[in-house]
Amino acid sequence: MKKLLITFSILAVFVIGFGFIFAAHNSTKGNSNAEDAKKTVVSNTASKVKTIDVPTLFLHGYSGTKNSMGHMMDRLARNGDATRSLVVSVSPSGKTKYTGTWDKFATKPLIQVLFEDNKSSLENQTVWLQTVMRELKSDYHIPNVNIVGHSMGGVDGVSYLEAANNKPEFPAVKKMVTIGAPFNGLVIGDDGKTAYDLTDSGPGAQTERYAAFIANKSAIPPSLDVLNIAGDVLDGTKSDTSVSLASALSGKFIFSNALSYQELVFTGSKAQHSKLHENKDVDAAVKAFLWS
């Protein structure tokens, strides 16, 4: 009987011991599962945090209207790839009017700038653009922007950069696209040759505007990425019918201190000056440059 009691006691000790081990194992496993669940929640939460995209300003050319860059903006915003945001109208006196909605969490916000006096001087449009930029920074708290400018809009962009000279009251310009911009005037040769043709060191002749850009090119942000787009309709003039290739591509000397510079030449009938901003291949190039 005594031996039987001893045997039962030993078995009881083993059972209790295994019970503690099993409970401890399940407790550890439960903690592990809880930690995994916690990590999953954190991971899911982190994946839902929206990044703040850099907004892009669109500048029309000489005598341009809301449609000049508006159709390109509509196409870029199609399928939710980007978001039409603010429209800024600037009066001839320099007073601004903002319409639309600003959401800093919107996907790739697009901001259209319209000069009511769309045939005004470069000097006036540069001052007006400074006003817009200053207000975007102070009133909308926008620290960085991209710029897309067609024709004189591209020239305005360069003039603005040099005038702003990286001052802190303006947003930093991260990327710039110029489309058919006449950096060195509007002279076109019937045979494709002019005194302004490019050499390895720059244009053979310089307009007053171009000379001023070159003189102040040190003000171009060294962190700026540039895409310069030009057109050639292939009619022998080496131009888009309004701006010569030489004038448009002389931008590479203005942007020589930028972080990066690339140029694209589109050809054929859809490379005509006013059709460049309606060209879907140009859309694709702009989209890839800004957001890829």
Domain count, the chain: 1
Q: In this structure, is residue 83 part of a structural domain?
A: yes
Domain membership of residue 11 (yes or no) is no
For residue 271, being part of any structural domain is answered with: yes
Residue 4 lies in a domain: no
Residue 114 lies in a domain: yes
Query: What confidence score (pLDDT) does residue 16 get?
Result: 43
Q: Is residue 7 one of the residues assigned to a domain?
A: no
Predicted structure pTM score: 0.84
pLDDT of amino acid 42: 44
Strands 83-90 and 96-100 turn out to be antiparallel
CATH value at residue 187: 3.40.50.1820
Question: Could you tell me the residue range of the domain that residue 97 belongs to?
Answer: 56-291
**pLDDT per residue over 195-219, tens digit each?**
999 999 999 999 999 999 999 999 9
124-179 confidence digits (pLDDT tens):
999 999 999 999 999 999 999 999 999 999 999 999 999 999 999 999 999 999 99
Above 60 in pLDDT, residue 37? no
User: Does 197 fall in a domain?
Assistant: yes
Mean of pLDDT values over 224-252? 98
Is the residue at 27 inside a domain? no
- Torsion angle (degrees, nearest 10) of CA 153, 156, 160, 163: 180
